[in-house]
A and B are shown apart, each in its own frame.
Chain A
């Protein structure tokens, strides 16, 4: 088989300097937070719609049931972000590193992601429906349910991830590398066009693909 070239995500390293520690941030809707380091702070239940986080570092910050709709994270580092209920629809993520996130129900639909790295962590349900994903790498992460329905994905890599159910219904994918990750089930098989899988994954998907194409295997 000819070697297939897959364009890898282009991820810009995030370097933050001269951050200001803030132990008791005044969270406000639509506010701009610039150059702040938050450590073990609770933003639970806060109204943060439309907030801008620029060059910020979050260490073990809890966002449970915080309303982050329309917020922007640019040049940010989030280490061990925690939110059983993560409400972040239409958020914008650019040049962001997220390590060991623990999100239960993550509402991230219709967002924009560019140059983002997610490493480690455990996510129960991730709703990225209708999002624009460009240069996103997710590695060594356990995700029970990943919904990419209606997504536009370019240079997306899922590396060494364990995914329960992947939904790609209506997705438009290009250079999406699924090799080295495990999946228990896939919905919307037609949306997988543009993805790259390996021989082993193909053998596991064969019954699904046959069923999708109406091929009877007897």
Chain B
């Protein structure tokens, strides 16, 4: 089956991509298992 090109992406997916673009964890709380410590910023 032909995969959609970037131009044919559904609007909602384009919105998700725009929201995810350039995003990193700044401001996200850290899970205890990620640090071995209590959750903190």
Contacts and interface: CB of A to CB of B under 8 A. Distances in A.
A122 B28 CA distance: 28
Contacts of B9: 104, 124
Task: Select the residue from A105, A127, A130, A149 with max chain B CB neighbours within 10 A.
Answer: A105
B22 A104 contact: no
Given A124-B9, A144-B6, A84 B16 contact: yes
A131 to B, nearest CB: 9
B34 A104 contact: no
Contacts of B24: 109-110, 127, 129-130, 150
Contacts of A122: 3
Would you call the interface of chain A mostly helix, strand, loop, or mixed? strand
Contacts of B34: 70, 90
Interface string B1-38: 00100100110010011011111110010010110000
A164 B6 contact: yes
Interface string A90-134: 100000000000101111011000000000001011010110000
Interface residues of B, number: 18
Would you call the interface of chain B mostly helix, strand, loop, or mixed? loop
A192 to B, nearest CB: 19
Nearest to A131: B24
Task: Select the residue from B13, B16, B31 with max chain A CB neighbours within 10 A.
Answer: B16
How large, as a class, is the contact surface on chain A?
A: 20 to 34
A136 interface: no
A49 B31 contact: yes
Contacts of B23: 107, 109, 127, 129
B16 A105 contact: yes
23 contacts: A30-B33, A50-B31, A84-B10, A85-B13, A89-B28, A90-B25, A90-B31, A90-B34, A102-B3, A104-B9, A105-B20, A107-B20, A107-B23, A109-B24, A109-B25, A110-B25, A124-B17, A125-B20, A127-B24, A129-B23, A142-B3, A144-B6, A145-B21
Interface of A: 30, 49-50, 69-70, 84-85, 89-90, 102, 104-107, 109-110, 122, 124-125, 127, 129-130, 142, 144-145, 147, 149-150, 164
Given A90-B31, A127-B22, 11 more contacts: A70-B33, A90-B34, A104-B13, A104-B17, A105-B20, A109-B23, A124-B17, A125-B20, A127-B24, A129-B24, A145-B21
What 7 A-B pairs come out closest when comparing CB atoms? Answer: A105-B16, A125-B17, A105-B17, A70-B31, A109-B24, A104-B13, A105-B20
